[in-house]
Amino acid sequence: MFTGIVTDIGEVVDVHARADNLRRLEIACHYDRAGIADGASIACNGVCLTVVAAGVEGNRTWFLVDAAAETLAVTTAGSWCHGTWLNLERALKVGDELGGHIVAGHVDGIAELVARDDLDHMARLAFRAPPQFSRFIAAKGSVALDGVSLTVNEAEGDRFAVLIIPHTLEVTTFGALRAGDAVNLEVDLMARYTARLIEKA
């Protein structure tokens, strides 16, 4: 489990196919190598991936993860290439502060940035969600976009908007987002379970 609070920005430094529906990615970061164990979970742009190896090169730590067919089909991982920047978050440990909201790292689908308004040190981003997931998105509710926990400011139909504060623009990849870009969307778990309970009532 994660909280949607980004703790580093990683860079994809190598991608190669291991099979038709399997890619191995090498991601460089600034995490302490000693804190990354084989088998650990790291959210990469909101996608929970398992570390299969790690090491140090120069002044950066690197780790390897595999992205399989479902991940490549449902998330933006299929378009990651050398030089792609990723929001990173390591899995929660017992006693960690829950600063955002509960995020599973299981991406539901891809949302498209349809408009960006740059304000005084902030940005208002409007997205289009896949129609089947828009019912889980509500004003004042939570979403995770590329692994970042955000509060929804507006929601209507399949569109919703979030306001990005200066700190988030500085410590995530959101500063570089432009209209037309795709982001990984994970809807709030509570919204999903509530909808399921209502369906069964």
Label the pairing between strands 109-118 and 182-187: antiparallel
Q: Buried (b) or exposed (e) across 15-37, using 16+ Cβ within 10 A? A: beeeeeeebbbbbbbebeeeebe
| In the block, residue with structure tokens 């509710």 | 141
Nearest Cα neighbor of 60 from 27, 38, 108, 22 is 27
Would you state the structure tokens that stand for residue 22, as one six-digit string?
């399997």
- Tell me how far apart the alpha carbons of residues 137 and 146 are, in angstroms, rounded to a whole number: 16
Active site residues: 2, 41, 48, 50, 68, 106, 151
Contacts of 60 (CB under 8 A, 6+ apart): 28, 29, 30
Write the CA distances from 36 to 19, 189, 191, integer angstroms: 26, 27, 32
Residue 127 in contact with residue 160, Cβ under 8 Å? yes
- H or E, element range at 170: helix 166-171
